[in-house]
Structure 1
Amino acid sequence: MNEKNVVSIGGVIETADGYNLHIKGYDAAQHREFNDLFTFDGFLVRGRHIDPRQDPLSAECRLEIKQKIMEVIHEKDTQQ
């Protein structure tokens, strides 16, 4: 079976320092689900599943999370 990563952004809150995002999904390479809060400060995405010193997801899944965050933030910015 050829599994794919699943990344779903459940909520986005704009703060003075950037954005807080609730993201859940499935990392196909690691065969595990994740459900966590991520922050985006306008430059970096942070969260325990992104940080290689904590509980990182696969490189492919981390990249997909970052891409989804950028899409959502860009869409939000163009609506303002």
Structure 2
Amino acid sequence: MIVCICRRVSDRDIQHAVREGIASFDVLQDETGVASHCGACHDCAHEVFEEARAAAHGGCAGACHAGTKVISIATAFAT
């Protein structure tokens, strides 16, 4: 489905961008132009973005991981 008519950005475009590593709606807007012209699609685009993020993270949009620090197992057991 076309989410942003002005910039011709579809839900698939947004999903693809998330799979490619875009983790911020602001960056998505910079990269695709979605919701950056008239703004009528902003809420829909943001919703599609969050759903794509959740799907990419196995059902989690990533907010539950905010502030976590990833360390290797070797580092964890070295202390």
The higher radius of gyration belongs to 2
Q: Using CA pairs under 8 Å that are at least 6 residues apart, name the structure with larger relative contact order, 1 or 2.
A: 2
TM (norm. structure 2) is 0.40
The structure that is helix-richer by fraction is 2
The structure that is strand-richer by fraction is 1
